[in-house]
Amino acid sequence: MPELPEVQTIVNDLAETGILHQVVSSVQVAWDKTIAGLDKKKFGRKIRGHHFTSIHRRGKYIVLGLSSGDTLLIHLRMTGRLYVTDANSPRLKHEHVIIGFGDQAALRFHDTRKFGRMYLTANADKVIGHLGPEPLDACFTPDKFFQMLAARKKMIKPLLLDQSFIAGLGNIYADEALWTAGIHPERQAHTLSETESRSLHKAIGAVLRLGLENFGTTLGGGQANFLYNGRRKGRNWDYLKVFRQTDLPCPRCRQPIERIVVGQRSTHICRECQKR
DNA sequence: GTCTATGTTTGCGG
DNA sequence: TCCGCAAACATAGA
């Protein structure tokens, strides 16, 4: 679930916890697959005794620089959570990796569905090199976006979800952006006019910034939902216009929002505002 | 208890 | 290039 705004919120919070520059004293891996094929022992050896020097986000990845020169990349996939708590509280049921900093604190990776992954590598590009442009980067201009669309025949929504095309959008913000721009998700990318392309470009920026301002989207009240710092809920749910708003009136024209399936993903549209 | 859906990504076959 | 499907898993809700 975590998309760009949720991942950025986590990164911002983590940066404030003070774990940066503290020496790692222990590494516990309770579910081997989480560390993406790396040997558990090697993984621990390469992190212990070092400290994190930097943290930032690229697409939906959390990127941590290590004093050893390696990079630890973390992808939360559907249900992953990353938070800092005290060093000695017992490991919770779905906490698969715990990185301890003396008796100060511990960074914990919690993931009910176990799809999330951590990658430890000397060459971060091996993991994130394939990613497309950052949608909030100044380099991602309306002109560039229009040219990118012109080269592709795919349906626009699956294309927006393609991380090698553009990095950071997921199902929530893709639906929100398409509704905001009044574009049908099944339109072929190259058929968008320059005006439509500009409007979509603007909408992508707007929905992401709104999500960021609201500390991400927490859906419903279930277990598998987005919590940053492991406990706080994002409040962007209250600002969603179409995502999971099936049968509720479109905020623009009052037509009921419909749920359809596009590229095997549930998709929410207003038939009136988003014509083919 | 059973069945279905789920926010992501990757890889395969056509 | 594009599309559909399956898999990696656990849980919530009907």
| Percent of all residues in chain A with a pLDDT value above 70, rounded to a whole number | 95
Confidence of residue A223 (pLDDT cuts 50, 70, 90): very low
Q: Which nucleotide is nearest to A222 (CA to C1')?
A: C12
Give the model confidence (pLDDT) of A128-142 as tens digits: 999 999 999 999 999
Q: Are residues A268 and A176 in contact, defined by beta-carbon separation less than 8 angstroms?
A: no
Nucleic strand B under 7 Å from the C-beta of A226? yes
What's the whole-model pTM score?
0.95
Average pLDDT in chain A: 92
**Cα–Cα distances in angstroms (integers) from residue A200 to residues A10, A36, A78, in the given order:** 26, 35, 26
Nucleic strand C under 7 Å from the C-beta of A114? yes
Longest dimension (CA), chain A: 59
Phi and psi, residue A79, nearest 5°: -125, 15
Lowest mean pLDDT segment, chosen from A110-114, A219-223, A243-247: A219-223
Nucleic strand C under 7 Å from the C-beta of A31? no
What sign results for the dihedral spanned by CA atoms A4, A9, A10, A12? positive
Phi and psi, residue A244, nearest 5°: 55, 35
CA of A157 to C1' of B11 (A): 21
Q: Which of A215, A231, A269, A232 is nearest to A247 (CA)?
A: A269
Q: Which of A38, A22, A33, A41 is nearest to A84 (CA)?
A: A22
Which residues of A are identified as catalytic? 2-3, 60, 265
d(CA A184, CA A157): 8
CA of A168 to C1' of C2 (A): 22
> What is the pLDDT, as a whole number, of residue A217?
87
d(CA A112, CA A230): 13
Strand C-proximal residues of A, range 145-204, CB below 7 A, are 151-155, 158, 188-189
Give the model confidence (pLDDT) of A91-137 as tens digits: 998 999 999 999 989 999 999 989 999 999 999 999 999 999 999 99
